[in-house]
């Protein structure tokens, strides 16, 4: 069995030791080296040729983001960010995912000692990712709203691994008067706050964290907060966001399935459901519910997906109207024809 070769980069010897200890229990993963700063990591990459890199962002001698940019330009490889869950760490992590890191995981802290329980699984996924098409991602193009008909549609979007880049590409193409848009991106709470702030700075529509009772307004994108609450849409005449605590669905809270199923109950025939890159199957069943109720359904294609799990699961369920590359999805969304108002 060919083992996954991992290089651990972190300026903390304690954290490097914790990562190495965690991964040493996995028969299919081998830590081939460690480095305490980017300059040493650069030499280790040349010498050891790892399959995947774990990377801290705040390190001496070279900023981790600057190092990541050099990796993506000179020697593209899967990088998983291991980040401190602080506001500064979260902001930097979102920027790292935008630059080209494929995933992020938070460092253990008091009360979250089991954080690294998912580390090996994340690295397995990362090691299989082919970066060629992704690194040459297309520049966003502003798209005029082509909606015709009576009622304003609602757009529902779900994403997981690789979703930060995908959301950046799609939402930066949206016009200022885009239809109300609700988004679930699998991510810890503070990371979603940073993602919403970053998208709000870069996009024409307003991007905010969803709050219970917030009405769905034209020109606004609502991002589900991470944590222990699912995002629902309720109401028919005036549709609003609702946050409700509940158990994980498909291993996630918030869950894309929960969001899509709420849309199927409230406004399905006037909804566009979009499922983007991500591991697992969250959102596939909900997308089928939307399609069965008359919604238009779109998934990201395999060539531009970091992980094709969620789109593939939806295709296998017969839940999909359109399979499109990332640079075409905004056009597909905004060309929807809505039903005529009664």
Catalytic residue among 10, 127, 186, 285: 186
By the 10 Å C-beta count (0-12 exposed, 13-18 middle, 19+ buried), 147 is classed as middle
Dist CA 52 CA 38 (whole Å): 15
Alpha-carbon distance of 204 to 99, in angstroms, equals: 21
> How far apart are alpha carbons 232 and 206 in whole angstroms?
19
Q: At what angle do helices 284-292 and 309-316 cross, to 10 degrees?
A: 40
Question: Using alpha carbons only, what angle is made at residue 61 by residues 112 and 40, rounded to the nearest 5 degrees?
Answer: 80
CA-wise closest residue to 173 among 311, 329, 338: 329
Partners of 207 in the β-ladder: 221
The reply to whether 252 belongs to the active site is: no
Contact in structure between 97 and 156 (CB atoms under 8 Å)? no
> Can you give the three-state secondary structure of 282-296, one letter per residue?
CCHHHHHHHHHCCCE
Residues in the chain: 342
Give the pair of three-digit tokens for residue 53: 């890199």
Choosing from 160, 173, 255, 262, which is the catalytic residue? 160
Report H helices in the chain: 13-23, 38-48, 64-74, 87-99, 119-127, 132-135, 163-171, 189-202, 256-266, 284-292, 309-316, 326-334
Residue found by looking up tokens 């000692």 in the block: 113
143 class by beta-carbon count within 10 Å (0-12 exposed, 13-18 middle, 19+ buried): middle
The DSSP symbol for 316 reads H
Catalytic residue among 282, 285, 301, 305: 282
Is 282 catalytic? The answer is yes
Residues labelled as active-site residues = 160, 186, 282
């Amino acid at each position: 069995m060919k083992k996954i070769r991992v290089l651990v980069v972190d300026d903390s010897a304690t954290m490097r030791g914790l990562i190495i200890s965690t991964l040493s229990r996995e028969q299919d993963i081998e830590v081939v080296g460690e480095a305490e700063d980017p300059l040493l990591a650069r030499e280790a990459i040349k010498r050891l040729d790892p399959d995947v890199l774990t990377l801290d962002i705040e390190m001496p001698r070279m900023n981790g983001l600057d190092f990541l940019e050099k990796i993506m330009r000179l020697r593209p490889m899967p990088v998983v960010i291991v980040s401190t869950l602080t506001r500064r760490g979260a902001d930097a992590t979102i920027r790292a995912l935008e630059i080209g890191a494929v995933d992020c995981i938070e460092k253990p802290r008091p009360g979250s000692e089991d954080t690294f329980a998912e580390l090996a699984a994340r690295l397995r996924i990362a090691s299989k990712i082919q970066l060629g098409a992704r690194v040459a991602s297309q520049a966003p193009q502003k798209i005029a709203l082509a909606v015709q008909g009576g009622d304003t549609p609602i757009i529902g979007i779900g994403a997981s691994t690789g979703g930060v880049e995908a959301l950046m590409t799609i939402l930066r193409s949206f016009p200022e008067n885009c239809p109300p848009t609700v988004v679930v991106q699998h991510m810890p709470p503070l990371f979603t706050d940073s993602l919403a702030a970053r998208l709000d700075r870069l996009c024409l529509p307003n991007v905010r964290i969803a709050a219970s009772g917030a009405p769905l307004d034209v020109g606004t994108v609502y991002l589900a907060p991470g944590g222990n609450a699912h995002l629902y849409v309720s109401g028919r005449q005036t549709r609003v966001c609702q946050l409700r605590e509940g158990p994980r669905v498909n291993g996630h809270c918030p869950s894309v399935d929960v969001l899509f199923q709420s849309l199927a109950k409230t406004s399905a025939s006037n909804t566009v459901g979009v499922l983007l890159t991500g591991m697992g199957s969250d959102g596939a069943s909900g997308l089928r519910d939307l399609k069965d109720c008359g919604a238009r359904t779109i998934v990201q294609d395999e060539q531009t997906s970091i992980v094709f799990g969620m789109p593939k699961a939806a295709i296998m369920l017969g839940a999909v109207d359109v399979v499109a590359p990332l640079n075409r999805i905004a056009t597909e969304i905004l060309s929807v024809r809505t039903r005529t108002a009664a």
